Structure 1
Amino acid sequence: MFKRILVAVDGSTTSLKALDKAIEFQKLMPDTEIFILCVYKHHSLFEASLSIGRPVEMDIPDKVLSEYAKEVVSHAKDLAKERGATKVRGFVKAGRPSRVIVKFAQDKEADLIVVGTRGTHSDKEGVILGSVSHRVASHAKCPVLVV
Structure 2
Amino acid sequence: MFKKILIPMDGSEPSQKALKTAVKMQESFDCELLILTVFRHHSLLETSISMVRSEEPEVMDDILRKHASDVAESAKKAALDMGAKAVRAFVKNGPPARTIVNFSKDKDVDLIVLGSRGHGDLEGFLLGSVSHKVTSLANCPVMVV
* Coarse TM-score class (shorter-chain normalised): 0.7 to 0.9
Unaligned runs of 5+ in 1: none
1:14 aligns with 14
Cα deviation for residue 95 of structure 1 reads 0.1
SS at match of 2:7: strand
Measure, in 2, the Cα distance between the counterparts of 1:120 and 1:28.
30
TM-score, normalization by structure 1: 0.85
Supply the AA of the counterpart residue of 1:9: M
Unaligned runs of 5+ in 2: none
Given that 1:117 and 1:133 are in contact with CA atoms closer than 8 Å, whether structure 2 keeps it comes out as yes
Residues 88-133 of structure 1 deviation map (CA, whole Å, 9 limit, x = unaligned)? 00000000000000000000000000110011137xx659xx6100
Measure, in 1, the Cα distance between the counterparts of 2:131 and 2:28.
25
Given that 1:6 and 1:36 are in contact with CA atoms closer than 8 Å, whether structure 2 keeps it comes out as yes
The question of 1:28 aligning with 2:28 is answered: yes
SS at match of 1:85: coil
SS at match of 1:120: coil
Measure, in 1, the Cα distance between the counterparts of 2:8 and 2:16.
9
Cα deviation for residue 59 of structure 1 reads 6.5
Supply the AA of the counterpart residue of 1:68: H
Residues 59-100 of structure 1 deviation map (CA, whole Å, 9 limit, x = unaligned)? 721110000000000100010000000000000000000000
Supply the AA of the counterpart residue of 1:117: S
1:137 aligns with 135
Q: Which structure dedicates a bigger proportion of its chain to helix?
A: 2
The question of 1:2 aligning with 2:15 is answered: no
SS at match of 2:97: helix
**Percentage identity across paired residues of the two chains:** 50
SS at match of 1:109: coil
Q: 1:50 to 1:97 in 2, by over 3 A?
A: same
Supply the AA of the counterpart residue of 1:139: L
* Paired residues, number: 138
TM-score, normalization by structure 2: 0.86
